[in-house]
């Protein structure tokens, strides 16, 4: 058996088991991801494989260059000389872009049914010499032109077919075989035919509309709908590498509706039994290229990754001066916990493309580095086990944006190299198909092996392109190197923030993210027990028709206070107030209105989403649109304004949220409802008092005798 957990280049002959007289020959001068996929599919069906060309330098061109492939013919001719059995059937196929979808028994049966000694794959398109089109035999139905990427025949016939080959490695194998096929005498003498209806071979170039996946009885095949056939061998010839990658996500039986993902637990690198000193060293590249919300939260999540910090090195690229305090604070407290840290700040004026290469080099140049983990700062890494889970060759955890079909991967590419939606994209995003998916594009976050960066991906211009964005250029060059990129949705990992409309003109700009990033805003600012208010009735009634419930986190309270103090334009507490309609305030407070700091729309959104549902629950039959004329933060100080005289509010109901802690930040304070002689003397930080504003709930603010007390008040439905 081949050991697939180690990529030993020394492994050359992989013999799985003998299946009749069939021997599969292929050429592979290096072990690529495509070659390993080919071997996996061969092993699945117990093919006997002999690989030719190990250790040679490839000189046969590629599908993007002028015709080549002569090197394959030379190697095949040499290998056939050692085969003396006249009954031996030889299958010769490419390997980097080929997968088996069925086994030797079916292949041999279909070969015998062809009633010829040699059967070539067939194509719709002629290559490489269109002038030879008229010389091809006409067929009643099916594909007319020969494809050299796959053929099967008896050894003596193949020897005869190759006997006069003397071409160079760079000559065209396809042209050589085509000239033999279009020669009536040679065609008859060697007994060659084409697999016109794709019963044995399916070439994808020129035939993408013909091929669909067929799921049946726990098995996956490729079906040619034009001829209603089930080809045994699928070849992503020419510019169809993305399509063979897509089909290879399923064939043979990598994912089925009955079993789900059958390979997701293969080749995993177990870490649970290791000592911390044995964990692989990982360089984490952190990239801050634009003003981004919740950067502080990003670093908090980074700290919470379940991975020994002394096995992690950090490369931090920060292009934004606005985020320098966030980075500086993180490093001030935590830099010493990591094995090493390299920081590139905005003052160094290094462009983003160069920064990516510098990050890669930090890993390439460190002999101990085994993985590079690239993370953009707009990634919300919710899963603390992400790094432990992802120890794979080149893999990205799937990230989404709440409520959208947006993810950090593309399932397909358009003809011009941009986004296209694959047939399975929605199912993958919505979790109806869970597995490991070979995709053409990933972004924002990925893990790659250091070995790949030192070999296949060692070029310094991976992110450079005259026409493509850096991430698209990177993925394009990775694909062209034959390196597979995978995205996994086996676990839930997190999401990606929206950076649109993010302003940096406030002290705590994240407070304004309630529209663009509502999920992250809620996690940051809404009390962890708020959900219990509606679900479990987690609500208190300290006075008649007065309801008390948690709504804000400590961070929300802190940010609101600091935002208002930073703004600093507190009212004087007099009756004359030009900020309100009519210019007169009957019961003045020292305050700052939400509209003064540009927060009125965000505050109404908060009231609508978090106050209105409680109102409708506690005051049955009353429904609010959460309209308000006044919403403001009030400051009470003993030497400024310690209390507020009895009054009604100009509202249907009032929301009053305590922003700091009695007994710690101030002494005294509270609210007394005169009609009921009932007081709330110990307001809890982040908890809201909700009460009717008019008629029944005449109330006063009790004196603050020490310190400073802050509350935020909303007069709702005036």
What was the pLDDT predicted at 709?
A: 98
What was the pLDDT predicted at 17?
A: 33
User: Of 30, 94, 27, whose CA–CA distance to 63 is shortest?
Assistant: 94
Q: Could you read off the pLDDT of 173-229 as tens digits, one per residue?
A: 999 999 999 999 999 999 999 999 999 999 999 999 999 999 998 899 999 999 999
User: Which residues make up the CATH 2.60.120.620 domain(s) of the chain?
Assistant: 509-716
What was the pLDDT predicted at 585?
A: 82
Rounded to whole angstroms, the maximal C-alpha distance in the chain is 113
CA separation for the pair 195, 202 (Å, rounded): 9
Q: Could you read off the pLDDT of 270-291 as tens digits, one per residue?
A: 888 889 999 999 999 999 999 9
What was the pLDDT predicted at 67?
A: 76
Residue recorded with tokens 């100009």: 650
Residue recorded with tokens 């139905």: 141
- β-pairing, 118-123 vs 192-195, is parallel
Mean pLDDT split into 10-residue runs, the chain, 718 residues: 35 36 95 96 97 91 74 97 95 97 98 98 94 94 96 98 94 96 97 98 97 94 98 96 97 96 86 90 98 98 97 98 97 98 97 96 97 98 94 87 94 92 97 97 97 95 92 95 96 96 95 97 98 95 97 98 98 87 87 97 97 94 91 97 96 97 96 96 94 95 97 96
Residue recorded with tokens 């310094």: 460
What was the pLDDT predicted at 8?
A: 33
CA separation for the pair 285, 360 (Å, rounded): 8
CA separation for the pair 697, 522 (Å, rounded): 31
CB 511 within 8 A of CB 296: no
Active site residue 709: yes
What was the pLDDT predicted at 438?
A: 97
Please state which of the four CATH numbers 3.30.70.580, 3.40.50.970, 3.40.1360.10, 3.90.550.10 is assigned to the domain occupying 276-496. Answer: 3.90.550.10
CA separation for the pair 9, 32 (Å, rounded): 10
Burial of residue 273 (number of CB atoms within 10 Å: 0-12, 13-18, 19+): exposed
CB 633 within 8 A of CB 542: no
Helix axes 518-525, 554-567, angle to 10 degrees: 100
CATH class of this structure's domain 22-261? alpha beta
What was the pLDDT predicted at 267?
A: 76
CB 671 within 8 A of CB 680: yes
The rounded mean pLDDT for the chain is: 93
CB 310 within 8 A of CB 275: no
Q: Does domain 509-716 have CATH number 2.60.120.620?
A: yes
What was the pLDDT predicted at 392?
A: 65
User: Which residues make up the CATH 3.90.550.10 domain(s) of the chain?
Assistant: 22-261, 276-496
- Helix (H), strand (E) at residue 357: helix 352-364
What was the pLDDT predicted at 676?
A: 96
CB 79 within 8 A of CB 52: yes
Catalytic residue among 40, 301, 364, 709: 709
- Structural tokens at position 557: 């309270």
Q: Could you read off the pLDDT of 673-699 as tens digits, one per residue?
A: 999 999 999 889 999 999 999 999 999
């Amino acid at each position: 058996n081949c050991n697939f957990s180690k990529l030993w280049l020394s492994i050359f002959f992989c013999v799985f088991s003998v299946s009749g007289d069939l021997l599969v020959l292929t050429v592979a001068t290096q072990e690529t991801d495509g070659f390993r996929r080919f071997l996996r599919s061969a092993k699945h069906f117990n093919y006997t494989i002999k690989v030719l060309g190990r250790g040679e330098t490839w000189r046969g061109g590629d599908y993007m260059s002028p015709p080549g492939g002569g090197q394959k013919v030379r190697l095949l001719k040499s290998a056939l000389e050692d085969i003396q059995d006249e009954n031996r059937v030889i299958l010769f196929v490419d390997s980097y872009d080929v997968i088996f979808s069925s086994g030797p028994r079916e292949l041999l049966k279909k070969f015998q049914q062809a009633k010829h000694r040699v059967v070539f794959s067939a194509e719709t398109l002629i290559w490489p010499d269109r002038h030879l089109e008229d010389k091809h035999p006409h067929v009643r139905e099916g594909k007319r032109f020969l494809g050299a990427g796959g053929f099967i025949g008896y050894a003596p016939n193949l020897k005869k077919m190759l006997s006069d080959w003397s071409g160079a490695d760079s000559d065209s194998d396809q042209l050589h075989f085509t000239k033999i096929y279009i020669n009536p005498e040679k065609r008859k003498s060697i007994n060659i035919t084409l697999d016109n209806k794709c019963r044995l071979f399916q070439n994808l170039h020129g035939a993408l509309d013909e091929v669909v996946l067929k799921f049946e009885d726990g098995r996956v095949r490729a079906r040619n709908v034009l001829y209603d056939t089930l080809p045994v061998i699928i070849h992503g010839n020419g510019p169809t590498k993305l399509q063979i990658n897509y089909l290879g996500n399923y064939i043979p039986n990598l994912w089925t509706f009955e079993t789900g993902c059958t390979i997701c637990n293969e080749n995993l690198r177990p870490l649970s039994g290791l000592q911390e000193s044995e964990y692989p060293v990982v360089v984490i590249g952190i990239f801050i290229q634009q003003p981004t919300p919740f950067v502080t939260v990003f670093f908090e999540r980074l700290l919470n990754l379940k991975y020994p910090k002394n096995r992690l090195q950090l490369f931090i690229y920060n292009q934004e001066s606005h985020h320098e305090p966030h980075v500086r604070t993180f490093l001030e407290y935590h830099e010493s916990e990591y094995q090493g840290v390299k920081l590139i700040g905005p003052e160094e004026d290094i462009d983003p493309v160069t920064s990516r290469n510098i990050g890669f080099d930090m890993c390439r140049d460190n002999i101990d580095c085994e993985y590079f983990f690239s993370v953009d700062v707009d990634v919300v890494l919710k899963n603390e086990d992400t790094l432990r889970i992802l120890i794979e060759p080149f893999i990205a955890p799937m990230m989404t944006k709440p409520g959208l079909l947006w993810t950090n991967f593309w399932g397909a590419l358009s003809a011009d190299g941009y986004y296209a939606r694959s047939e399975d994209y929605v199912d993958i995003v919505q979790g109806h198909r869970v597995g490991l998916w070979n995709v053409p594009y990933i972004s924002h976050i990925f893990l790659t092996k250091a070995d790949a960066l030192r070999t296949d991906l060692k070029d310094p211009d991976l992110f450079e392109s005259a026409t493509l964005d850096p991430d698209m250029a990177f993925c394009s060059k990775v694909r062209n190197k034959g390196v597979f990129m995978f995205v996994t949705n086996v676990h839930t990992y997190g999401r990606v923030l929206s950076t649109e409309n993010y302003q940096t003109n406030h002290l705590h700009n994240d407070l304004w993210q309630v529209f663009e990033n509502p999920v992250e805003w809620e996690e940051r600012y809404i009390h962890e027990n708020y959900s219990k208010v509606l679900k479990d009735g987690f609500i208190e009634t300290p006075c008649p028709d007065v309801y008390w419930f948690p709504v804000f986190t400590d961070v929300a309270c802190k940010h609101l206070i600091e935002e208002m103090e930073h703004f600093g334009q507190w009212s004087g507490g007099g009756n004359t107030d030009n900020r309100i309609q009519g210019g007169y305030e009957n019961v003045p407070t020292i305050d700052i209105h939400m509209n003064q700091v540009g927060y009125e729309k965000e505050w109404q959104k908060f009231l609508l989403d978090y106050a209105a549902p409680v109102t409708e629950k506690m005051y049955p039959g009353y429904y609010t649109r959460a309209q308000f004329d006044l919403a403001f933060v009030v400051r009470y100080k003993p030497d400024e304004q310690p209390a507020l005289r009895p009054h009604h509010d100009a509202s249907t109901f009032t929301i009053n949220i305590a922003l700091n802690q009695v007994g710690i930040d101030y002494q005294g304070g509270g609210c007394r409802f005169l009609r009921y002689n009932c007081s709330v003397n110990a307001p809890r930080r982040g908890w809201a008092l909700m009460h009717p504003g008019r008629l029944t709930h005449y109330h006063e603010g009790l004196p603050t005798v020490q310190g400073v007390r802050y509350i935020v008040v909303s007069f709702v439905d005036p």
